[in-house]
Every structure is written in structure tokens, then in C-alpha cells.
Amino acid sequence: MNAFAMKPVALAAMSAAVVLTAGAMLYASGSQAAEEAQATQAKPALTVTVVQPQQVRLAVRLAANGNIAAWQEASVGAEVNGLRLTEVRANVGDRVRKGAVLAVFAADTVRAELAQAKASLMEAEASAAEAAANAERARSLQASGALSASQISQYFTAEQTAKARVEAARALNQVQQARLGQTTVVAPDDGIVSARTATVGAVVGAGTELFRLIRQGRLEWRAEVTSSELGLIKPGGVVQVTSASGAALEGRVRMIGPTVDPQTRAALVYVDLKAAQGASGSALPGMFARGEFQLGDTPALTVPQSALVVRDGFSYVYRVNPDNRVTQLKVQSGRLVGDRMEVTSGLKADARLVASGGGFLNDGDLVRIVDGVATGKK
């Protein structure tokens, strides 16, 4: 075979080699692209830590609003008429004891009237003694006939009249003594002076209010509770109250109001407050306050608050599957205690959840799990 016969064969072999080489290059390039795509696809979206729900017992609370008021108020007024105030010994905010002197009226006129009443009593007693002696003599002479029946009857009548005058004079004397005692205004009970209208030099009439007391310094919280919630509250229950000033008070339910307002459908619950009053920052009558009734406790499934993600008004958690991919679960949240949130539905107790950073994840994302706190980096 000559050189011209070999030439086509060589050309064919060279063409085949070129085709094989190009195919190998294309195959290698395709494999590398596939590996790069697979590597890119398998990259974790987030490094996270996982937690499991905890079964705990949470307190059941009922929140309400209301006003703080005095348990009872005592009105202290003037019992004498037309006398002048000479002393005012108590002011608003003072703590007073039962029987403590709050104010004093001028007593000169009353003392003079008392002296006059005493003199009238002495005069009546003297007249009664004379009438009694005359009646006694008439009794001794009644059988002798020295005195007529009409004269004896007159002596007996005079004796009874004199006794009646003595009783009237004695009653008048007691009235004047009582009026003298009323010139001193005293506290009817232990308490705190909440209002004062008494002014030195004023001439007031009987019945005019001079002071107002918070009896025994006791305050109460009058909570407004809807009629549908009244059945949950029992007398003696513990209540935590926070006043508008920030003072934390503990109280107990004393009684539940006997009626429901037909307009608001709410009833008043009266709660006795235990904290001392009158100090700076404490609760004062008239303050608004909010509180929570302690109604016991119930079992609850809780997760860290950071594990919850709120989207479009709904709460979600991310469950970590065995292949380290996450599944978005819609859950119902309940009570918040500290940094833990109750989950009422949509979650099993053995689920493994993303502890934090769920806002950066989507359903089906791959995550890297580490011990400790999640880095939160993509």
C-alpha cells in the first residue's frame, strides 16, 4: 500500500481522536458543574441550636382593671351649734387613734349653761325635799283627821310634782354636760385623715362636716369583672394589684358585688389591700389600678419565646427533621411567663425546634446544628 492509500485512513483516525477528546472534555465539564451545583444546593441556610418543648405548670390568671378606694370613710362633724372653733389639731394625712382630739370649740357659753343647769337641779332637789317632808307629815296626820282629804291630796301631789321637776332638772344637767363634751371633736375610729374643712375661728352649725377619715387606714381595689368571668373568682382568692404609681400590692377577694351593671355587663369585685398606705409611691384612694386574680395552675407545653416566629398575624415554629431540614409548623400560643410561651396546639412534646433565628428560615431549608447558642449567621 502506497502513501496515497494510507492518507485517508490516517485522517479518519485523527478525526476520531479529536471527537473522543472533545467528548471527554465536555463530560468532565458537565460533571464539575453538577458537583458545584450539588455543593451549592447542600449549603446550610443557618447555623442553629435546637430545643425541645417543656411540660410545666403555669398559673391561671384573670386580668382586670378598677379603682382603689377607701374601705370605709367616717365623716366627723360638729354636734354643737353656733360655737367658735378655737383649735384644729389634725390635718390631712395624719394617722389618728380612736378618741384622739381633732378639734376644740370655745366652751365658755356651754360651761355657763351647765352651771345654770346644776343650780336648777339643786333648787329642784331642795323643793323636792320640802315637798317630801310635807307629804310625810300629812301621812302621819291622815288618821287623826287634823287635815282634810283635799289638803292631804295636795301634799301628795306636790311631792310627786317636785320629784318630776328634779328629774327634769337632772336631765337638763346631763344635756349640758353632753354639750360640754361635744365641744371637743374626737376621732370615732383609728384611721387616716383624708379631708379637713375645719378652720380656726369658724362658727359652724350642728352637722357641719369637719373631717373625713379612712377607717383603719384600709383600702380596697374595686375591680370590674365581666359577668362571664365572675364564676372563676372566689372570696379569699389572692390578687396581685399594680397601682398607677407602680406600687405592687397584694390583696384578697373580700366579696363579689351582688349586682351586674346592665349597661357594661360587669360587676364589682372588692379586694382588700394589705400594703401600708400613705407613703410615697404607694396606692392612694382614687387611683386607677390593674390586677390579676390567681386562679390556680394548669399543665402547659412551653417553648422559648425566641423559637416563635410571627408572620401575617400567625405564630410559627420550625421543627428540625432527621435530615436537618426544617418544617414550618403553625401553632396556637397562650400564656407568656418570663421568656417562655405556652403552645396550646399544633406541636408535639418530642419535637426538635430551632431555638432562635427562625425569621431567617423558610420551609424546607437545610440547617447546621451546633451545641450552645446559635450564631444566627447565614
What letter would DSSP give residue 321? P
Radius of gyration of the chain (CA): 49
* Nearest in space to 221 (alpha carbons), one of 293, 297, 294, 296: 293
CA-to-CA distance for 40 and 366, rounded, in angstroms?
Answer: 12
The string of DSSP letters for 142-189 reads: TTTTSS-HHHHHHHHHHHHHHHHHHHHHHHHHHHHHHHHHHTEEE-SS
From residue 75, alpha-carbon distances to 85, 161, 183, 195, 325 in Å are 18, 43, 17, 9, 74
Let me know how long the chain is: 378
Is the distance from CB of 314 to CB of 88 less than 8 angstroms? Answer: no
Cell, residue 363: 420551609
Residue 213: beta bridge partners? 74, 193
Can you give the pLDDT of all 378 residues of the chain as single tens digits?
444 444 444 444 455 444 444 444 544 455 555 455 454 556 888 889 999 999 888 888 899 999 999 999 999 999 999 899 999 999 999 999 999 999 999 999 999 999 999 999 999 999 889 888 888 888 887 777 777 778 878 888 888 999 999 999 999 999 999 999 999 999 999 999 999 999 999 999 999 999 999 999 899 999 999 988 888 899 999 999 998 888 889 999 999 999 999 998 999 999 999 854 444 457 889 999 999 998 888 899 999 999 999 988 899 999 999 999 999 999 999 888 888 999 999 898 889 999 998 889 889 899 998 875 443 343
Q: Which domains does the chain have, with CATH numbers?
A: 46-56+299-369 (2.40.420.20), 63-71+217-297 (2.40.30.170), 73-101+187-216 (2.40.50.100), 107-182 (1.10.287)
